Amino acid sequence: MQLTQITQITGQIELLSGLHIGSGNTEMHIGGTDNPVIKNPVSNQPYIPGSSLKGKMRSLMEWRAGVVGLTGGKPLGFKHLKEIKEEKQLKAGESILRLFGGAPEGADQDLALVERIGPTRLSFWDCELDPAWVEEMRDEKNLLLTEVKMENAIDRIRGVAENPRNTERVPAGARFEFRLTLRIHDGEDLRDEILRGLRLLELSGIGGSGSRGYGKLRFAALRQGNESLMERLAAVEI
């Protein structure tokens, strides 16, 4: 197996609804929000961690491949491939490991299988806010880069709001710069699988509270070098 090319897939993520990816901040501040979003410690601007994109995309692809029941809820690994009987499912599982990699599994690991699948192909970058969008918010509209959304639980019998809480979100319309690094071995083409994963993200969303409408997104201006990938993304079958 030979590394024949390292390339990048770039584009933008545009939010269709407010996004909340928590910062893990456990401190309480007077006048602050209950659930702040994660921010770059240097710029203090919200961003999308590459780990959030990778984890959600991999999880969705494993559900689509039908392998979650084999793994007991853990990420798909090389040892799980031995339990897959259906050829189509096995092919999907191998593609997932090619893209995202698999954890070492000790002396029982099938070295021939590991060598055949090879190293992780995808590297995810943190997605910073598009500078043009930041300038638009601050200079033209004098708006903040985040919003605070109030929520309540409703008592079904009394119809009374209970347990009010507030959550910080990046507002709908925000744009983030998106980048993947792709390692290509022996001239392989894994872009259809990558685009299927991105399409699953569009259909599902990222971040917290997705069932309440948070984190819906779409990809724009996806390119690999000089080649546009938008038509291929639109043609992906789920």
Query: What are the residue ranges spanned by the domains of the chain?
Result: 3-234
pTM above 0.95, yes or no: no
The tens digit of pLDDT for each residue in 59-90 reads 999 999 998 888 888 898 888 888 888 889 89
The tens digit of pLDDT for each residue in 170-212 reads 999 999 999 999 999 999 999 999 999 999 999 999 998 888 8
Q: Is the pLDDT of residue 29 over 50?
A: no
135: phi then psi, degrees, rounded to nearest 5: -65, -40
What's the whole-number mean pLDDT along residues 114-127?
A: 91
Q: How many residues does the chain have?
A: 238
In sequence order, the 6+-apart residues with CB closer than 8 A to the CB of 142 are: none
Region class of 44: left (phi > 0), else alpha (psi between -120 and 50), else beta: left
The tens digit of pLDDT for each residue in 88-99 reads 989 999 999 999
What's the whole-number mean pLDDT along residues 151-163?
A: 77
Give the CA count within 13 Å in the CB-facing half-sphere of 135: 3
Percent of the chain at pLDDT > 70 equals 92
Residue 30's pLDDT is what? 39
Residue 156's pLDDT is what? 80
What's the whole-number mean pLDDT along residues 27-38?
A: 60
Contact 125, 179 (CB under 8 A): yes
Contact 3, 186 (CB under 8 A): no
Percent of the chain at pLDDT > 90 equals 57
Q: How confident is the model at residue 13 (pLDDT cuts 50, 70, 90)?
A: very high
**Neighbour tally for 48: CB within 10 Å:** 28
Region class of 213: left (phi > 0), else alpha (psi between -120 and 50), else beta: left
Residue 200's pLDDT is what? 96
What's the whole-number mean pLDDT along residues 9-22?
A: 95
Q: Is the pLDDT of residue 17 over 50?
A: yes
Residue 25's pLDDT is what? 55
